[in-house]
Amino acid sequence: MSAKAKRNKYGAKKTPCRHGHIHASGSEAKRCNELHLAQKAGEIRELKQQPKFILQEGFRFNDKAIRAITYTADFDYIEDDPGGWLRVIEEHKGRSDTAYEIRRKMFLNRYCRDGSIFFRET
């Protein structure tokens, strides 16, 4: 008897890319393959999968530990840009939910306001 493939909360099947990383969907795995090709061609560098960012630090309230709020993006890389190299945080979204929208806004406010990081949704 074969085991069923794991699926994410939207029903998409978890899929590996050619480089062995497991992604939330086939389209995300395809995007990972494209980014690896771009890195090989010298268009991007320092490609990372699933980078984690702290949106709000953890704290204590009434003697209880409140966990930090974090956001895990799909990709982080440095892109060749006409003005120089640009750090890009990329989110490959098929469907959006309220929790993602809140985290996206918190991420943009904390990390993208000074223009040093570019946020891209594909």
Task: Kindly list the domain boundaries of the chain, sorted by start residue.
Answer: 45-121
Distance CA 113, CA 77 (A): 18
pLDDT for 24 equals 78
The pLDDT of residue 3 is 47
| Residue position matching structure tokens 């190299």 | 85
Per-residue pLDDT tens digits of the chain, which is 122 residues long: 344 555 555 555 677 777 777 777 888 888 999 999 999 999 999 999 999 999 999 999 999 999 999 999 999 999 988 878 899 999 988 777 899 999 999 999 999 998 889 999 98
Q: What pLDDT is recorded for position 2?
A: 42
Tell me, what's the pLDDT at 26?
Answer: 83
Residues present in the chain in total: 122
What local confidence, expressed as pLDDT, does residue 110 receive? 95
What are the structure tokens assigned to 44, written together? 């991007």
Cα separation, 50 vs 3, in Å, equals 26
| Strand residues in the chain grouped as ranges (E) | 15-16, 22-23, 44-49, 52-56, 59-61, 64-66, 69-72, 75-81, 84-91, 117-121
User: Residue 12's pLDDT is what?
Assistant: 54
How far apart CA 75 and CA 86 sit, in angstroms, is 14
Helices (H), 19-114: 26-40, 98-107
